[in-house]
Structure 1
């Protein structure tokens, strides 16, 4: 096969010792890997008919047919894609792709249309590494677009009105210039070949407006996502929003997610659909520190509707049958909820002094409203959350000189440091319901030690075993920060986490 000779001669390079075979706006095409059936590309007017064999574009190595050209910098590539022939493997793939090199294990990002109509942004972050994906909330309708902007890739899909619309989700993968960009087809069954037509193919350099301040004032789109913890670590878009949403929680039955937006709290089905506002009475200036009671019938909210703008903590019933109850009203501090003890009796919250720089962890009794200090020390202590057995309290703190995760007894005693990388800013430990894992958000050194701002590039979601048996692993990289995963966000069966990724409007 042609590519076998190319690969042997030039390894990772782009130039071929054989004559290139240009087709349309692409410089060359060839099989990547060694499929049993050789692929081909023909030009039909301005459309491309591509046939490819191969077992898959997935895992640690890909086998498919590719038509490509060299580019650098920001780029959008789009195409209207349709398979030829009925049936075939439901996982056969046709799509648009950016690839670092021509080896089967190259880093890449693509938008793949599957035979069963699934659309996904796939990516391999490093050479010889695994493949991950972000699946679209909607089915394939025709056109798709892969969008490289800076070190991030995004994707768009055709909406019901026939126009391309942002599908949500993003991943940070810094391609080196030059890279390859083009069209790809894989049969997913190496015993056969599959064919797809690519029409209205465009390669455009986006004109992106400069955003001088990416902080709280920046306008963003938001994507509510789920991620499998373990296995393929796939991400799935639940819904893409034109504006900002923050801080998803799960219902006890695993069927509903709750988030805040514009000061109000909303519920949305895990399978996607329309959002429904939760009745929080006159408390409609909620921040992103909210969550459900252990029995799943009540929600705690942190609201700042009063003229002094201090955050206060209240409890509401999800069915609206009981009046809103005020739990914490501290005239000298802003109070932000983060944890609810498994016995339902105690709220753990962050008390931020209104007239000083103190960030301490306090407790409030749900029945008596009595408050008391739990973790008080110089620096910042934040993000308290109880273990499922109620024995421990997890939090993040600067007491070691870095922002790290800690564990203490439930009364705040015997603190133990859990993360130790001084180059990271680790925030908001969330404990899986089975007690085995800590999911948390981690910022880079470009962030001030005590800050967790929105709209940052070097943001990672990480996973750490609660027993300390292994080092943290990176679940995914995204554009996000404040609002991404502030509050408890594990599914009841400990298999998935919910989070929010963002994209600047420009």
Structure 2
């Protein structure tokens, strides 16, 4: 009888905790856990897409917890990433914020916590079983308590949980990892705050909150093995985002369960242009209903498209009417209309306009070669000129600087993809980035001061830029210096293939991925 009463009591505790649903932002549940003396709360500012969380609680430690929790029910693998900042300097040094994954809302539940304390202590801690004492690896990392904010990421890959952190502008660093074999596949996951003082309530701001659900990758870094893998890839949902360059704050303006790619910023600064399903669409930068752009008979448009410096013309890459496969470069009025074929041979992938608005640069394969090189073509007569003559490696993403002095591009002559530049005639080639990452698609800001590019992880083929990877967007002064990490995201192919700077150089747009959609698609080969 006593055993039955205990089970019933546990059921009631769990049921009452789960019943406290009060959706805030993307989180479906907003509740105190462990009945802290001081009640917590959470709000969401939809304009800035920022959360304010407040919470009391004696601690998150020993064999029970007290804190405030914003969470969703989630299954399988995931990547949780956000920026956190305590509001105010007062409070217990061990006040806590971060990401938490729990088996239930029970105060004694098994959990895995990616924690930053008020005094800068940063640690991965876990409770392996319900009612067990909390543990940590004892190799704790201390950051200065003067740190303004910090990026915290918690990833689950199978039974393994991995915590990474960074001060904004820096690469993510792994704090620790731990296997949680007894944590169920279906868990609670979300943001938490605990004051570490039963008589106090602490407050924090949280922004750039992203919950990503990766898919099993069909990509393999060995090209010979890759040839044997299926040619289709699960589709992940997409977010169209705008980021402020000054502080890295991001806003999602459009979401889809399907696949869209490669935003361009329209010259008036009021709309974005992107490709989806072989067509082009515009959407207000504040969000809203997309409108299809008239591209005539060219209906298999890919993610290589962009706007001339004078704001009057649009270059696109896509299939030729009546032909199967292949990519050709076309030019049409930015307002829409009948495209003019520029390149007679395929594959040709547009990437940049010359400042004279009469030439375009693209990458292509010619004369039976399997190697991509950079070419320039005149839009009036289609005459092509090779600017690189590689016989090995790969080049991609050529783009003119606004002053017309350089063409920036990415190249792999040494085994690592890096950012390069050359003079418009193809001479004076010089390397710009020097690191272990594979860096792609340099985009120059309209004011000529910055290079934005995407960095892929070290474990991919340097000649590949696959979808669905843990990537970063980086910013580098055109005058030289150290690059800064602007965004941490799940993405890759289609994220930032083309220039997406705002006309005033204050914002940049890109595509990130979220979770699996229903239908697999064939990946674009390039």
Give the conservation status (yes or no) of the 8 Å contact 2:465–2:492.
Answer: yes
Please state if 1:343 is matched with 2:366: no
Aligned residue for 1:433?
446
Cα distance in 1 for partners of 2:39, 2:123 equals: 19
Give the conservation status (yes or no) of the 8 Å contact 1:267–1:278.
Answer: yes
Aligned residue for 2:131?
none
Cα distance in 2 for partners of 1:289, 1:126 equals: 44
Aligned residue for 2:254?
239
Cα distance in 2 for partners of 1:494, 1:182 equals: 34
Aligned residue for 1:10?
none
After superposition, the Cα gap between the structure-2 partners of 1:49 and 1:97, relative to the gap in structure 1 and judged at 3 Å, is: farther
Cα distance in 2 for partners of 1:409, 1:355 equals: 27
Give the conservation status (yes or no) of the 8 Å contact 1:279–1:318.
Answer: no
Cα offset for 1:445?
1.8
TM-score by length of 2: 0.63
Aligned residue for 1:279?
294
Give the conservation status (yes or no) of the 8 Å contact 2:54–2:193.
Answer: no
Aligned residue for 1:6?
none
Secondary structure of 2:39 counterpart: strand
Cα distance in 1 for partners of 2:433, 2:232 equals: 28
Cα offset for 1:24?
6.0
Cα distance in 1 for partners of 2:33, 2:482 equals: 50
Alignment of 1:217-236 (within 5 A): 217-231=233-247, 233-236=248-251
Cα distance in 2 for partners of 1:41, 1:486 equals: 43
After superposition, the Cα gap between the structure-2 partners of 1:471 and 1:317, relative to the gap in structure 1 and judged at 3 Å, is: same
Cα distance in 2 for partners of 1:242, 1:172 equals: 31
Aligned residue for 2:71?
77
Cα offset for 1:370?
1.6
Q: Which of the residues 272, 276, 295 maps onto 1:257?
A: 272
Alignment of 1:109-120 (within 5 A): none
Cα distance in 2 for partners of 1:97, 1:391 equals: 47
Worse-superposed segment, 177-186 or 311-320? 177-186
After superposition, the Cα gap between the structure-2 partners of 1:369 and 1:210, relative to the gap in structure 1 and judged at 3 Å, is: closer
Give the conservation status (yes or no) of the 8 Å contact 1:77–1:147.
Answer: no
Cα offset for 1:424?
1.3
Secondary structure of 1:476 counterpart: strand
Cα distance in 1 for partners of 2:347, 2:408 equals: 21
Deviations 1:165-203 (A, max 9, x none): xxxxxx99876448997775699xxxx9699xxxxxxxx
After superposition, the Cα gap between the structure-2 partners of 1:242 and 1:367, relative to the gap in structure 1 and judged at 3 Å, is: same
Aligned residue for 1:505?
516
Alignment of 1:365-444 (within 5 A): 365-379=378-392, 380-421=394-435, 423-444=436-457
Please state if 1:327 is matched with 2:342: yes
Secondary structure of 1:364 counterpart: strand
Cα distance in 2 for partners of 1:408, 1:209 equals: 37
Cα offset for 1:401?
3.3
Aligned residue for 2:492?
481
After superposition, the Cα gap between the structure-2 partners of 1:273 and 1:48, relative to the gap in structure 1 and judged at 3 Å, is: farther
Q: Which of the residues 446, 466, 470 maps onto 2:478?
A: 466
Q: How many residues align?
A: 382
Give the conservation status (yes or no) of the 8 Å contact 1:437–1:464.
Answer: yes
Give the conservation status (yes or no) of the 8 Å contact 1:77–1:96.
Answer: no
Cα RMSD (Å): 4.3
Cα distance in 1 for partners of 2:37, 2:291 equals: 44
Q: Which of the residues 487, 503, 506 maps onto 1:495?
A: 506
TM-score by length of 1: 0.65
Give the conservation status (yes or no) of the 8 Å contact 1:68–1:181.
Answer: no
After superposition, the Cα gap between the structure-2 partners of 1:500 and 1:300, relative to the gap in structure 1 and judged at 3 Å, is: same
Aligned residue for 1:315?
331
Cα distance in 2 for partners of 1:182, 1:417 equals: 42
Cα offset for 1:239?
1.1
Deviations 1:93-126 (A, max 9, x none): xx994353362135599xxxxxxxxxxxxxxx99
After superposition, the Cα gap between the structure-2 partners of 1:96 and 1:252, relative to the gap in structure 1 and judged at 3 Å, is: same
Cα distance in 2 for partners of 1:173, 1:63 equals: 27
Unpaired runs of at least 5, structure 1: 1-22, 27-39, 54-61, 80-90, 110-124, 135-145, 154-170, 196-205
Deviations 1:354-406 (A, max 9, x none): 73212110111122222111222233121100000011110111123321111
After superposition, the Cα gap between the structure-2 partners of 1:283 and 1:127, relative to the gap in structure 1 and judged at 3 Å, is: farther
After superposition, the Cα gap between the structure-2 partners of 1:285 and 1:102, relative to the gap in structure 1 and judged at 3 Å, is: closer
Give the conservation status (yes or no) of the 8 Å contact 1:350–1:360.
Answer: yes
Cα distance in 2 for partners of 1:218, 1:289 equals: 22
Aligned residue for 1:131?
149
Cα offset for 1:504?
3.9
